[in-house]
Amino acid sequence: MSFVCVLYYGQMQLIPFYLGVRPMFPFKKILCPTDFSEASFCGIKMAKEMVSKFDSEIILLNVHKPIPHLPAPRMEASDITFDVTGYEKAIIAEAEKSLEELKNTLLGEDAKVKLLVHIGHPAKEILLVAEEEKVDSIFIATHGRSGLSKIMFGSVAQRIIRKANCPVLSIKSCN
C-alpha cells in the first residue's frame, strides 16, 4: 500500500492508495442531478465549493420521464395526432436552456461544467450517466418525503444511494 498526499482545506492529509485503484478523494468529476428544485440547487452549491478547492468538473444532469406513446389512431378516429418526438425535442431544448442559465447563475461562466439532458427513468439514467462518465461522486438532493407519498412514489435518491458504484452525498437542504 502506498499513500497519496492531498492538500484539503489548507491541511496536508495522507490517503491510502492501493495499486490499480484511484484514490477516492479529491473528486475529479461530480455528478449533480437536478430537477430545478431548491434542494437540488444546494447540491450544486456544495459541488461548486469542491470545484473551487480542487481542479474538478461538474456534470449537471436533468432527466425527464418518458412520454408514453399511444398506438396509431384507427381509421374512424380523429385526424388530430400528437407529435411525441417533437414534444420531447422541445422539452430537451427547454431543459438545456434552463441548465445553461443555472450554470451561469450558480457556478459562473468560467466553471468546468458539462450539461446533459436525458429522457428516461430518473434513477436508471442517473446511474447510467455516472457509469458512462466515470464520476467520482454523485451529489443528489432529497426532498424529505415520508409516509404514504414515499411508499407510493419511492425515492430516486434512495435508489441512487443503494445502487451507485461511487460515493453519494445526499443533501436535504442548504441549512
Q: What is the pLDDT of residues 50-91, one digit of tens each?
A: 887 777 899 999 999 888 766 665 555 556 666 778 888 999
- What is the pTM (predicted TM-score) of this model? 0.76
CB atoms within 10 A of CB 55: 8
Q: What is the pLDDT of residue 152?
A: 45
Q: What is the pLDDT of residue 83?
A: 76
* Rg of the chain over all Cα atoms, to the nearest angstrom: 20
- Residue 47 to residue 41: CA distance in whole angstroms: 10
Alpha-carbon distances, residue 25 vs 48, 112, 122, 163, 173 (angstroms)? 15, 18, 26, 20, 23
Q: What is the pLDDT of residue 172?
A: 78
Go through the domains of the chain in sequence order and give each one's CATH number. 26-66+80-171 (3.40.50.620)
Task: Number of helices (H) and strands (E) in the chain: give both, helices first.
Answer: 5, 7
Which segments of the chain have a pLDDT < 50?
A: 2, 7-9, 17-21, 152-153
Give the position of cell 409516509: 147
